[in-house]
Amino acid sequence: MKRTFSTLIVSTLAMSLSFAAQAHRAWFLPAATVLSADNAWVTVDAAVSNDIFHADHAPFRLNSVEVLSPNGNKVELKNANTGKYRSNFDLQLAQEGTYKVFSASSGIRARWVDAEGKRQGWPRRGQPAEMAEFDKNVPKDAKDLSVSQFSRRVETFVTAGAPSNQVFKPSNEGLELVPVTHPNDLYAGESAEFTLLIDGEPAAGAEVLVLAGGMRYRTSQNAIKAVADKNGLFRVSWPQAGMYWLSASYEDDNAKAPATRRSGGYSATFEVLPQ
C-alpha cells in the first residue's frame, strides 16, 4: 500500500532545538507587548535557554521566524542580529492592532533497531522529513519500528493601539493556542482563558505549564499547572505582574500514516500588567 502524508518540512526551528534536551526552552521576549499606535517600534529577543528569559544556551535562528500584521500580512524583521546566545530584531508596528511573532515546524520521526542491534533514527539533524526520503531511509521491515508525527510552535503577541483578533485564526496544523482572553489584556490578580487545538480539534487533556520570568532570582520555580478540558479550554490566574512563559504539550494515537503516534508542543510569552 502506498504511504501518504501531507507535506512535511522540518523548519529551522526543528534543526536549531535539541528535542532530547527538554530542559532547554525556546522563547521570544518583546521589550513590551502593549504600545502606542503612533509610529510604534518594539525590539524582540529570541533564544533557547535553561532559565526563562536568560540567554545562556543558544540563539534562536531567525530564518524560521515570521511576523503577521493585524490584517494578516507578513512584516519584515528589521535590524536582525544573531549573537552567541541570543538573536534580536526590531519590528515597526505601522498598523494599529495585534501582531503575532511565531515560528512553527512539523514532520515525522522514525526509530528502529538495525540488524546489528543498534538503535537508528530518521531524520538526522538537518534532513528534511519528506515522505520520499522516509521511504528511502526507513526500512519497511525494520525491527521495533516506531514512527511519530510531531509539531512545534513558539509565539508571542504585541499590540499597537487598540487590540485586534485576526492573527488568532488557527492554521489547523499542529498544537495551537486560540485566546479567549486577549493575550495583551492580562492583569495581575485576574484569570485568563485560552483554548488549545491539535490539527484544528480540541486538544483535550493537553498539559500546560506556566513560569514567571526571573527564575535565576528564586529558589522555587513557582510553576502554575493546568490541564485542558474536553473543549481544549484552560484557565490561568496571574499572581503578579511580569513576563510569563507558557508551555503546552499534547500526545495521542491519532496520527496520519505511516505515523502511529502524534505529539505537539507549544510555547508563548505573555506580559501581565499591574492593576
Domains of the chain: 12-106+149-272 (2.60.40.1930), 107-148 (no CATH)
Mean pLDDT for 165-190 is 97
Model confidence band, residue 257 (pLDDT cutoffs 50, 70, 90): confident
3-state SS, one letter per residue, for 209-245: EEEECCHHHCCCCCCEEEECCCCCEEEEECCCCEEEE
Mean pLDDT for 162-168 is 97
pLDDT in the model for residue 5: 37
Model confidence band, residue 3 (pLDDT cutoffs 50, 70, 90): very low
Answer yes or no: is pLDDT of 72 > 90: yes
Mean pLDDT of the chain: 89
Q: H helices then E strands: how many in the chain?
A: 2, 18
Model confidence band, residue 81 (pLDDT cutoffs 50, 70, 90): very high
Answer yes or no: is pLDDT of 166 > 80: yes
Query: Burial, 51: exposed, middle or buried (Cβ in 10 Å; 0-12, 13-18, 19+)?
Result: middle
Answer yes or no: is pLDDT of 137 > 90: no
pLDDT in the model for residue 23: 58
SS3 content of the chain, % helix, strand, coil (to 5): 10, 45, 45
**pLDDT tens figures, 12-50:** 343 333 333 345 899 999 999 999 988 899 999 999 998
pTM of the full predicted structure?
A: 0.87
- Measured on CA atoms in the order 136, 105, 250, 120, is the torsion positive or negative? positive
What is the C-alpha separation between 83 and 89, in angstroms, rounded?
A: 11
**Cell (9 digits) for 235:** 484557565
Answer yes or no: is pLDDT of 112 > 90: yes
Q: Of the candidates 43, 37, 93, 44, which has an alpha carbon nearest to the alpha carbon of residue 69?
A: 93
Q: Of the candidates 232, 225, 251, which has an alpha carbon nearest to the alpha carbon of residue 177?
A: 232
Mean pLDDT for 53-66 is 95
Answer yes or no: is pLDDT of 6 > 50: no
Yes or no: say if 155 and 101 are a contact pair by the CB < 8 Å rule: yes
What is the C-alpha separation between 74 and 100, in angstroms, rounded?
A: 10
pLDDT in the model for residue 225: 97
